[in-house]
Amino acid sequence: MAELDKVLLNLVEPMVEDREHLEVTEMPGDNDREVLLRVRAKDEDIARLIGRKGMMASALRQVMAVASHTENKRVSITFEQI
């Protein structure tokens, strides 16, 4: 089974400038079929990850939905500035 936080980290790591301050953590959701992934990075990197009109964030959520399909889980992704 894929560890969803590592999958997301592998996706976002090439997109950020400051990789030292990049954190992706997996948190439990409201039930056992839901996973919350939290991405923390510096301001300019978060802006890059969210993208114009949220297009990049939407694309990341779609890719993670496909990755989580094998585990029959629903993924939510939040972006936070350090």
- The pLDDT of 49-53, averaged and rounded, is 97
Question: Is 65 within 8 Å of 75 (Cβ atoms)?
Answer: yes
Domains of the chain: 4-81 (3.30.300.20)
The DSSP line for 21-66 is G-EEEEEE-SSTTEEEEEEEE-HHHHHHHH-GGGHHHHHHHHHHHH
Q: What is the band of 28 on the pLDDT scale with cuts at 50, 70, 90?
A: confident
pLDDT of residue 34: 93
Q: pLDDT tens, 57-67? A: 999 999 999 99
Is the model's pLDDT at 73 over the cut of 60?
yes
The two structure tokens encoding residue 48: 């890059």
Q: What is the band of 30 on the pLDDT scale with cuts at 50, 70, 90?
A: confident
